[in-house]
Amino acid sequence: MMDDREGERAMGSAAGGESASARIERFRRSFLAIEAEVGKVIVGQHSVLRKLLVAFFAGGHVLLEGVPGLGKTLIVRSVSKALGLSFKRIQFTPDLMPSDIIGAQILSENSAGREFHFRPGPIFAHVVLADEINRASPKTQSAVLEAMQERQVTAFGETYPLPEPFFVLATQNPIELEGTYPLPEAQLDRFFFKLLVQAPGPAELKEILDRTTTERNPEASPVFAGDTGRAQIAAMCQLVRQVLIAPPLQDYVVALIAATTPNAPGAIRAVNNYVRFGPGPRAAQAVVLGAKVNALLDGRAHASFDDLVDGVLPALRHRLILNFQAEAENVDADTLLTEVLRGLRRP
Amino acid sequence: LDALLPGLPPLVALFAALLAGRLPIELAAASLIAFAVLLLYVASVEVSLPEAAAFLDRGMCAKEHFLTLATLREGANLRPVVEAGAIAIARLVPEPSLPPRRSRPLAASMLLSVVGFLLLWLVPELATVAATGEPLDRIAAELAGSPSAADRALAAELRELARALGDARLSSDQKLSRVEELIAKLDRAARERLQLSAAGSSGGEGEEREQGRQDQAGGQSKAEGAGDQPSAQGKDQGGQQGGPAGDARGRAREELAKLAGELSAQAQSKSGEGEPKKPQPAGGGIQAPQGAEERKAGAEATAGNQPGKSPDQPGGDQKPGGQQGEAKAQAGIQPRDQAQGQGPTNAGGAATDGAGQRSSLGPATKADRYYKPGEGPEGRIIDGRYVRIRVPEDNQLLPGTEEVAKPGEVAPEVGYGNAPLPGAGPPGKISTEQAVPLEYRGALGRAGE
């Protein structure tokens, strides 16, 4: 093993002046600052907020699920504010059309005559909140697909790139399912994490009352601002990709995906009984990238086993398509995943 | 630890056997343990680099630092950061104690384990030590507290014998001879006490006691020869002497007789291992120990009251090879008693109840006198070789039936196998027929009954 100073020199050369450990420390401080700013507005929900930011820096999108009134929209708005990024909200309704999201050709008249030009829709923002996404028709939902994955929009034969960073936060209500269109598997797979927003506890509820029924009106301040801020965010996202992960840990993720795929070698009996479709490669990517962000938050340049396990439930729960038997027996994805994790051998 | 690994199961078994005094059972357990250890050895004989790194991570509470360094390719951008972290951990946390190195070939482990087992089989004397050393010491302790100098001397001899039995250097034959010596010494002392007490008693009891003395003197040599007889003698004489010391002498005599039987059985089994096995007759059955035949020979050699001999003469002891016959007789009787499920103490007790001082001859002597091979009292068969028995049936009653016999009562299917049914009962038992000694059968025309 090399000496400490030798290591530092190597790190410095690798980072083009700034040492790797300094970059990791800066990442950690920035991340915690964003959390603190959002925490001024949002009471509790620490886990949701942490994982939401993890998904953001890993370059993914998040599906938030919770009953109305838990602050889902407020979280998203506060995060965008703290990140200093543009924010657009789209309220999904059954009559919402794809053009309402991605934009439309507008006929305009000028000195040269009449011509169509593209007017961008609300999808052209850094942070997009797709509120109650399951209320729109599949046609409209699918309009978001390309945007989420390719980070570009095609309208009238023209392709328009979306701004970087691009972050979609969709919310859906687990109740009042009448008149809704459940998200198709293909679209669910596009979401990096699915986070469950829980109701606040008594102490948190009291704090919410204090903040919302008095003259205090806390607001999140932007941690990053302008082009410099976006460059910083891009650097942070790039650092996430550089975090190391040992091959045995990757093997563990592969085994995890196999264990949750029905009729695959290594699948447990419960998975074979209750799962219709298992998670795909995007699930494995989400677990690994989430682990990398967790490692940076812990000040490490390599992912650990605990970092991996921390992201398994949010990354896989919406990618596990359960069958009717599971629904009849009230078996949910989290229970199955916990059982799978218990049965897998740690590397 | 690595060197001890194959020897561990036999050692554990040995200590367990010494504690419990049941070597064969522990041997079976030891074999299971040995196989488990060997399987464990096979399973973990290969340790890969990632496994070793994971061990370091666990032992030093690192977060996969060593695993990452051990498995990642060189040249990664952030690798130096991981190395720095691992160095910091290695400086702060003490090194974990490494598991035992297992570099010995599997064949060597198995060979050593097998050698350990063979060693156990070659020292069966340890079982004898474990099983019999304690009672002798206990009895010796009781005798040591006696006011009599003779008892204290006997206690010392018993202790000495117990130590000799624990000596692995002595063979079974040597131990057997020591046990026999002490038995003979005990018997001589008992006879002397008996004679002294008889001389000191008044003539009112005269006739019967005189007869008993004659019988005893006549059977003197037999008393030395029969392994199960003198226990009754010792017990009886101990009872005459009275007090705890006499009782302890009786028990010492019993223990020694038992020891002699076990040691002779061991000696026989050792000598019999090299011989080819005799073909077994078809039809099953339980074969009596070979000691029965030897006992017969020994009994003939030591018979002081055989027809045509004066009971007062030393008898068979004077015959060439008589000494050998005596030892064999001792060896032979014990297994027969064990095979019939009847210990020497029981036989002695029964005789004492019925016949007072004459009981010093013991019931076996009477049986030998009144029954020829194939006959026997109380279900016993002199020199019986094969018996057919019926095992007890389940005592559970079927619904609607009632029990007509006592629970546990066993009725033989056939009297007792292919042996002729016994004639009259033993002496002293109420019977319509008079028991006829063997030597008178021919004269009375009842031979072969």
DSSP string, B344-360: HHHHHHHHHHHHGGGGG
- Distance between CA atoms of residues B389 and B340, nearest Å: 12
Instruction: Say whether B400 sits in a helix, a strand or coil.
Output: coil
Looking at A56-60, A195-199, B140-144, which range is the least confident one?
Answer: B140-144
Judge whether residue A294 has pLDDT over 60: yes
Residue A91 touches partner B, C-beta closer than 8 Å: no
Residue B336: per-residue pLDDT: 37
Candidates A14, A243, A305; nearest CB to B64: A305
Cα–Cα distance between A89 and A169 in angstroms, integer? 9
pLDDT at position A345 over 50? yes
Quote the pLDDT of residue B283: 38
A242 vs B80: CB contact, 8 Å cut-off?
no
DSSP B241: H
Closest-CA distance of chain A to residue B62, Å: 9
How far apart are alpha carbons B223 and B360 in whole angstroms?
9
Confidence of residue A289 (pLDDT cuts 50, 70, 90): very high
Say yes or no to pLDDT of A114 above 70.
yes
Instruction: List, in order, residues 6 or more apart from A287 with CB less than 8 Å away.
Output: A253, A256, A308, A311, A312, A315, A316
Residue from B49, B57, B68, B74 whose CB has the most chain A CBs within 10 Å, to mutate: B68
Among the partner residues A7, A243, A303, nearest to B80 by beta-carbon distance: A7
> Chain A interface, mutation test: which of B58, B77, B95, most A Cβ atoms within 10 Å?
B77
d(CA B142, CA B213): 29
Sorted by sequence, the CB contacts under 8 Å of residue A120 that are 6+ apart come out as A102, A103, A153, A160
Nearest CA in chain B to A25: B81
What's the angle, vertex CA B134, arms to CA B131 and CA B137, rounded to 5? 145
**Which two structure tokens, joined as six digits, stand for B180?**
């026999």
pLDDT of residue B193: 79
- Nearest-angstrom CA–CA distance, A242 and B69: 15
Using alpha carbons only, give the angle B343, B346, B348 rounded to the nearest 5 degrees. 110
Query: Cβ atoms within 10 A of the Cβ of A111, count?
Result: 4
Nearest residue, CB atoms, A304 vs list B63, B70, B83: B63
CB of B82 within 8 Å of a chain A CB? The answer is: yes
Buried b (16+ CB within 10 A) or exposed e, B129-143: bbbbbebbbbbbebb
Owner of token pair 């409209």: A140
Contacts of A298 in chain B (CB under 8 A): 63
Distance from CA of A347 to the nearest CA of B (A): 7
Task: Pick from A11, A18, A27, A244 the residue to mutate for testing the B interface (most B CBs within 10 Å).
Answer: A244
Whether residue B338 has pLDDT greater than 90: no
* Mean pLDDT estimate for chain A: 86
pLDDT at residue number B264: 82
A242 touches chain B (CB under 8 A): yes
pLDDT of residue B170: 82
CA dist., res. B73 & res. A343, Å (int) = 29
- Residue A219's contacts (CB-CB under 8 Å, 6 or more residues apart) are A40, A41, A81
A298 vs B: CB within 8 A: yes
Q: Which residue in A15, A21, A248 is closest to B71 by CB distance?
A: A248
* Closest residue to A302, CB basis, from B50, B64, B88: B64
Residue A135: DSSP 8-state: G
What pLDDT band is residue A150 in, cutting at 50, 70 and 90?
Answer: confident
Shortest distance, CA B56 to any CA of chain A (angstroms): 13
ipTM metric: 0.77
